[in-house]
């Protein structure tokens, strides 16, 4: 629980203030809903939700004192389009979207903006590990398992980490003026819905 304050204190010592916070927590375990233990659910909430909450709580007072700041929460599109085998992470992502929206309203008078980035499937080390595990457990090739996902994406491809990085940088910049409480979804058109 003290890790967030330690990170903030280290940044303050090095830079004197914090203008931008990007929260990007790790992945949650997936699986068959009725086979997942309470601990899997708790670990997901602790990592994704509480990690983000603690970091935001640690930087917000300083941003208020400095009369401005930008917070970008990297969430994940399963918060709006849950997958049956990824429900612990989807639940945490939905909570992060609610937190982003609520905190943004509270902080707007202080010139602090809070937005979310919802990446879809992105070719990261986490993605490669997930595909390897799914291929092994199903007796299929990695290419076949990955194809099951990309077929659902209208753009028919995975995103690159660099593409997501550019979008996070946009949300953290003044180019995203007049945006707060927003959720930018970048998933090649995978999420079905109007919002």
The reported pLDDT for the residue numbered 78 is 80
Which of 129, 56, 136, 67 has the alpha carbon at shortest distance from 99?
56
User: Across the strands, what pairs with 112?
Assistant: 69
43 CB-near residues (< 8 Å, 6+ apart): 28, 29, 88
Distance of alpha carbon 27 from alpha carbon 164, whole angstroms: 16
pLDDT at 194: 66
Note the pLDDT of residue 59.
97
d(CA 68, CA 11): 17
Q: What is the mean pLDDT of each run of 10 residues along the chain (195 residues)?
A: 93 96 88 90 94 97 97 90 86 96 98 95 88 89 92 92 96 95 92 71
State how far the alpha carbon of 195 is from the alpha carbons of 68, 98, 123, 129, 168, in Å. Answer: 27, 14, 26, 31, 20
pLDDT (0 to 100) of residue 167 = 97
Predicted pLDDT at 195: 57
Q: What is the pLDDT of residue 24?
A: 93
Q: For 148-156, which contacts have Cβ atoms below 8 Å and span 24 or more sequence positions?
A: 149/121, 150/121, 152/190, 153/120, 153/121, 153/187, 153/188, 153/189, 153/190, 154/188, 154/189, 154/190, 155/188, 155/189, 156/188
Whole-model pTM? 0.90
pLDDT at 126: 83
State residue 186's pLDDT score. 92
The answer to whether 48 and 66 are in contact (CB under 8 A) is: no
Q: Would you state the pLDDT for residue 171?
A: 97
In the structure encoding, which two tokens stand for residue 94, read together?
């939905």
- Tell me how far apart the alpha carbons of residues 114 and 56 are, in angstroms, rounded to a whole number: 10
Other beta carbons within 10 Å of 128: 12
pLDDT at res. 121: 87
Which pLDDT score, from 0 to 100, does residue 80 have?
A: 84
């Amino acid at each position: 629980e003290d890790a967030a304050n330690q990170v903030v204190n280290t940044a303050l010592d090095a830079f004197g203030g914090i203008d931008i916070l990007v929260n990007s927590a790790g992945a949650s375990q997936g699986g068959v809903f009725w086979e997942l233990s309470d601990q899997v659910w708790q670990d997901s909430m602790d990592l994704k939700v509480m990690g983000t909450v603690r970091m935001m709580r640690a930087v917000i007072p300083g941003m208020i004192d400095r009369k401005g700041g930008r917070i970008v929460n990297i969430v994940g599109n399963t918060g709006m389009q849950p997958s049956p085998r990824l429900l612990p992470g989807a639940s945490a992502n939905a909570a992060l979207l609610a937190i982003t929206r609520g905190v943004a309203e509270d902080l707007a008078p202080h010139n602090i903006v809070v937005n979310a980035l919802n990446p879809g499937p992105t070719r990261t080390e986490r993605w490669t590990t997930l595909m390897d595990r799914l291929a092994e457990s199903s007796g299929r090739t990695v290419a076949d398992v990955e194809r099951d996902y990309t077929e659902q994406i209208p753009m028919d491809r995975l995103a690159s980490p660099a593409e997501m990085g550019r979008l996070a940088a946009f949300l953290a910049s003044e180019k995203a003026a007049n945006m707060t409480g927003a959720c930018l979804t970048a998933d090649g058109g995978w999420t079905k819905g109007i919002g």
